Amino acid sequence: MKKTSTRLADGRELLYYDSRDDAVRDAVDLRPLAPAAPRTEIRHDPLLGDTVAVAAHRQDRTYRPPPGECPLCPSRGGRLSEIPADDYDVVVFENRFPSFAGELGRCEVVCFTPDHDASFAGLGEERTALVLAAWTDRTAELAALPGVEQVFCFENRGTEIGVTLGHPHGQIYAYPFVTPRTRLMLGSAAAHRRRTGRNLFDDVVERERAAGERVVLAAAHWLAFVPYAAHWPYEVHLYPRRRVADLRELDDVARAEFPGVYLELLVRFDRVFGEGQPPTPYVSAWHQAPFRAPGREDLALHLELFTVRRTPGKLKFLAGSESGMSVFINDVPPETAARRLREAASA
């Protein structure tokens, strides 16, 4: 992998990740952009203990641009975009409309492919391996920034999820705090350690492996299963069999096997609702341990993949119970979801 760093016209950093070591990336951003000056305020909720980012500048972010004006496509034919080059493999750049910036973290956009009409499931194993390398590199570099406590790599796909740019892309959030969801997991892991002397994630993975009924895909170095108390209609958790805290700690054999496993899961998500259905909307989220929080060593890197679609033509909305009280009600039994995802195998 070759990494090339450059700057956009407003001063934001852009990084090219190329499979070829001889790739040359010298294109210049010619757009007349004013210097980036995002402003974010972080507020603490005293009742819930949550942290909320107030980022009014995001009201002006690009929203479903017309065909031919995608800001994530390469700059071609005189049309200038966020990516100065006329072609690329994988690109990461600072978000023009970040939720967190400066001393309050950082937000980046990850473009998986120059093909506007592609999807992650169609990238192929070589490109997927390059994306994994980019995620890992960004985790390492962002971890070194002052004030960054946790790095979150994720992809939202589909307008049903709220995606405003159709080009295949994901994001990386470098939070200046430990997220509420991670704090809950830290507390659960600590309580399990006190009660049993064992690691919570190891026990969960082993329970699912032994039971088998919710396992979706079992590979040599990865295990994918629908969790016992799944929140979403179709939700899969993917764990490396050797527990690690974050992407930096994955070994070579797990890295080599990941592309094939992950692409197969994405293909099954697109097949689970039957032939002729539109692409399945999903969120794909890497959960990594925070860098300095007590109990970091007890958290396990894993990927959570889920969709808001519960059946063809119907979505799972976060209504009163979910939105008002954070109590999820799942319409699809996890065992049924796991069986259907096994049946949707590509081979």
What per-residue confidence (pLDDT) applies to 91?
Answer: 98
Kind of pairing, strands 90-94 and 222-225? unpaired
Half-sphere exposure of 69 (CA within 13 A, CB side): 6
Domain ranges of the chain: 2-177, 181-343
Confidence of residue 346 (pLDDT cuts 50, 70, 90): confident
Query: What are the two backbone dihedrals, phi and then psi, of residue 123, each rounded to the nearest 5 degrees?
Result: -70, -35
Confidence of residue 113 (pLDDT cuts 50, 70, 90): very high
What per-residue confidence (pLDDT) applies to 175?
Answer: 98
Give the type of residue at 98.
Answer: P
The Cα–Cα gap between 170 and 161 comes to 13
**What's the CATH number of domain 2-177, 3.30.428.10, 3.40.190.10, 1.20.1260.10, 3.40.50.300?**
3.30.428.10
Q: Nearest-CA neighbor of 302 among 213, 239, 222, 246?
A: 239
Angle between helices 252-271 and 125-143 (to 10 degrees): 120
CA separation (Å) from 197 to 191, 200, 309?
9, 9, 39
| Degrees, nearest 5: CA angle 103-174-29 | 80
Q: In the predicted model, what is the mean pLDDT of the chain? A: 96
Percent of the chain's residues with pLDDT above 90: 94
Could you report the per-residue pLDDT of 242-268, keeping only the tens digit for each? 999 999 999 999 999 999 999 999 999
Second-level CATH architecture of 181-343: 2-Layer Sandwich (3.30)
Q: Which residue has the tokens 């509420």?
A: 180
The Cα–Cα gap between 95 and 36 comes to 10
Could you report the per-residue pLDDT of 33-72, keeping only the tens digit for each? 999 888 899 999 999 999 999 999 999 888 899 878 999 9
Q: Where are the alpha helices (H) located in the chain, listed in sequence order?
A: 125-143, 180-196, 200-211, 252-271, 325, 334-343
Give the catalytic positions in this structure.
Answer: 169
What per-residue confidence (pLDDT) applies to 63?
Answer: 85
CA separation (Å) from 305 to 32, 34, 161, 252?
39, 37, 13, 23
